[in-house]
Structure 1
Amino acid sequence: MGFHKSSMDIKLERGHILTAYCRRPTGEAIYSELDLDQFLGAKKGQFAWGSHNFSAHATDVDLQLEGPTHEPVLHAHIDDGIGNIQDCEVNLAACIKNEDGNLRFMECF
């Protein structure tokens, strides 16, 4: 289950820090943050899970909660390394989970 289904007030700080109040099994919601630069990179103008420091190659970084289930989708313009700027997006729920009230990266590639 994606972290967004058990979290609230999901935001992006400083262009790469994901923050949210995540519910624990007890029902209590606690503040958590996760530095996406530790798990998300950029390769050939696209987001790349399992890589690092996407924010060094991205501009106009924005987090939007999209669709009827409010999927957390990260948008950015990323340089492909040869001078072209690509419009990119990645669904953060694909690789991030809420584990006992904490945002955690889970291997998904």
Structure 2
Amino acid sequence: MATTMVEQRNQACLDACAECQQACETCNYNCCAGNPDMAECARLCLDCAAICAACVTLLARDSRWAAQLCQLCAQVCEACAAECDKYDMDYCRECAAACRRCAEQCRAMATVTV
């Protein structure tokens, strides 16, 4: 009997959350180093990175709470994407795209496992 480290049904969502976390951390760093008018973008990126990290942890251990956290994560990712869309910088565009992919995967995970 083969065992896997992560439930296969969780893998796509886990990967999207990890990618989103990295993109948000990068965007936050660049927002903080750049324009002070981007403070809200930086804050949302930190919130998004934190919730994505929590999702990765819960998905990796197939927690019964993962689906509920994924629902919230999708909302935070959408808010972060909307804020990043306000700025015409590559890192903001990349972050917004990663957030949207993560939101899509999290919504799918939440509906499958709830």
The TM-score, its normalising length taken from structure 2, stands at 0.22
Higher helix share: 2
Instruction: Using CA pairs under 8 Å that are at least 6 residues apart, name the structure with larger relative contact order, 1 or 2.
Output: 2
Higher strand share: 1
